[in-house]
Structure 1
Amino acid sequence: MQLKSVAVAVVFALSLTACSTVNKIVYRIDVPQGNYLEASKVSQVKVGMNAQQVQYLLGTPVLVDPFSNNTWYYVFLNQKAYETPEQHTFVVNFDSRGIVTSADLDKPLPDVEKPEVNNAVINATEGQSKSWWQFWK
């Protein structure tokens, strides 16, 4: 009789946790898509450059205007975990000779001069004697 009540309690508890309303338990990775745009590279694109120079700086565009090859679109979409995705679009217009006439960025890019560094101490047992069961350290 005791075993039945314990089993029922365990099943009830597990069923409640399975229907949990707690959000954001599952880990979601950052998903960058398109051309990775850096503020330092985008600022180097100037009027008067040719198409090869722009492609060297930024890579192949995501979209080339299908009606005229004079407009290139560089699209960068970044979604971090459960945050709303951020999209940046950089449009480069060329003249008939392949020279940049204008370059427009829809919104400013974040500066990534110093990336976040995890300064956690990994090996805190330096100089201490190791135990026989910690041979892998």
Structure 2
Amino acid sequence: MQIKSIMTALILALSATGCSTVSKVVYRIDVPQGNYLEAGTVSQLQAGMTRQQVQYLLGTPVLQNPFEQHTWYYVFLQQKGYETPQQHMLVINFNPQGLVSDFKLDKPLTEDEKQIINNSIISAPPQPAASWWQFWK
């Protein structure tokens, strides 16, 4: 009788812990952090742009050195589900006049098909002008 209860408790304990050993059962969401950097917007960055133009294009920087105002840091960290996180860092240097002197991206950005579709311009065909009394046409 005692062996039956021990075996039942042992089987119950093993079946309860057996589910936790299976990896990738729990869904993990994609977690982007920092400034979202796209290859299309980074390619528009040029030397000679003003600070306002850079901020309009890429947003406010994540890091600014309080002792030196001539360097902006844009950091983007992407954690997709169970994959290893990917971090990209864009460093923009300004000259004393406030224009971009140089910029450096540590790793190339991947171009997604969704980004290409979302950044395309969609135009509707022109509609012929109709009068209000010609609604049946």
| TM-score under structure 1 length normalisation | 0.73
What is the identity, as a one-letter code, of the residue corresponding to 1:24? Answer: K
Gaps of 5+ in 2: 116-137
Higher helix share: 2
Correspondence 1:66-77 to 2 at 5 A = 66-77=66-77
SS of 1:19's equivalent? helix
What is the identity, as a one-letter code, of the residue corresponding to 1:72? Answer: W
Q: How many aligned residue pairs are there?
A: 112
% of aligned pairs identical? Answer: 61
Q: How far off its partner does 1:108 sit?
A: 0.2
Q: How far off its partner does 1:12 sit?
A: 4.2
SS of 2:76's equivalent? strand
| TM-score under structure 2 length normalisation | 0.73
- Deviating above 6 A after TM superposition, structure 1's stretches of 4 or more consecutive aligned residues are none
SS of 2:53's equivalent? helix
SS of 2:113's equivalent? coil
Taking only aligned residues, the RMSD between alpha carbons, in angstroms, comes to 2.1
Cα pair distance change 1:55/1:14, threshold 3 Å: farther
Measure the CA separation in 2 of the matches of 1:26 and 1:60: 35
Measure the CA separation in 1 of the matches of 2:57 and 2:97: 19
Alpha-carbon deviations, 1:105-131, whole Å to 9, x = none?
00000002336xxxxxxxxxxxxxxxx
Alpha-carbon deviations, 1:77-104, whole Å to 9, x = none?
0011111100000010001111000011
Measure the CA separation in 1 of the matches of 2:15 and 2:52: 57
Gaps of 5+ in 1: 116-137
